[in-house]
Amino acid sequence: MPNTAAFSLRRLTSEDADCFRDVRLEGLQRYPASFGASYDDECDRPLEWFRARILEHAIFGGFTRDGMLSGVAGLLVPPGAKMKHKGILWGMYVRPSARGRGLAAALLDCVLDHARGVVDEIKLEVAPDNAAAIRLYGAAGFVEFAREPRALKIGGTYHDSVSMTLRFEPAGSA
């Protein structure tokens, strides 16, 4: 895993459930239009639910020198035979105090490195007004393939969604 002077990265384990829960709920609460899940749906979930998410998905975390989990990104691989070739990048969030230091790009690289050889393609959804995230994904090779109007409804307000994908080239292709 890549490391920098400002943070270290690794795949989360069940022992990280408490800090994962904290980061996840912070992101859901601060940026509700950036996630398909809602703070209200997850805030009362038991710690075991978050532990299960870690065990069922490949979730990577970025830790500051003092050991604080400051960013997360996950990869879901659907279980069905016809769908498991397309992974889903989900839950990408970096705390504001850790932004601007390359943590988001490093987390994305961790997910992509893990996904190569596991899936043929990764999909994601992003809010169309999240220009920084769209730039990050575009720089990694993701391309927009659809826009869904009214993808989310939060407190009576509709929010659109941009769908992006990144296809991995088969080994040995030019």
Q: What is the mean pLDDT of residues 124-145?
A: 97
Instruction: Name the amino acid, one letter, at 54.
Output: I
- Cα(first)–Cα(last) distance of the chain, in Å? 26
Instruction: Name the amino acid, one letter, at 42.
Output: E
* Residue, of 174 and 96, whose pLDDT is higher: 96
Of the pLDDT bands very low, low, confident and very high (cuts 50, 70, 90), residue 53 is very high
Give the whole-number percent of the chain exceeding pLDDT 90: 91
* Residue, of 174 and 17, whose pLDDT is higher: 17
**pTM: predicted TM-score of the whole model, two decimal places:** 0.92
Instruction: Name the amino acid, one letter, at 30.
Output: R
Amino acid 169: pLDDT = 80
- Would you call 66 helix, strand, or coil by DSSP? coil
Instruction: Give per-residue pLDDT as tens, 32-43.
Output: 999 999 999 999
Question: Average pLDDT, whole number, for the chain?
Answer: 94
CATH number given to 7-167: 3.40.630.30
| Residue for token pair 């705390």 | 95
Would you say residue 6 has pLDDT above 50?
A: yes
How far, in Å, CA of 158 to CA of 95, rounded? 25
Q: What is the mean pLDDT of residues 13-37?
A: 97
How far, in Å, CA of 118 to CA of 121, rounded? 9
Would you say residue 3 has pLDDT above 50?
A: no
Instruction: Give per-residue pLDDT as tens, 82-124.
Output: 999 999 999 999 999 999 999 999 999 999 999 998 999 999 9
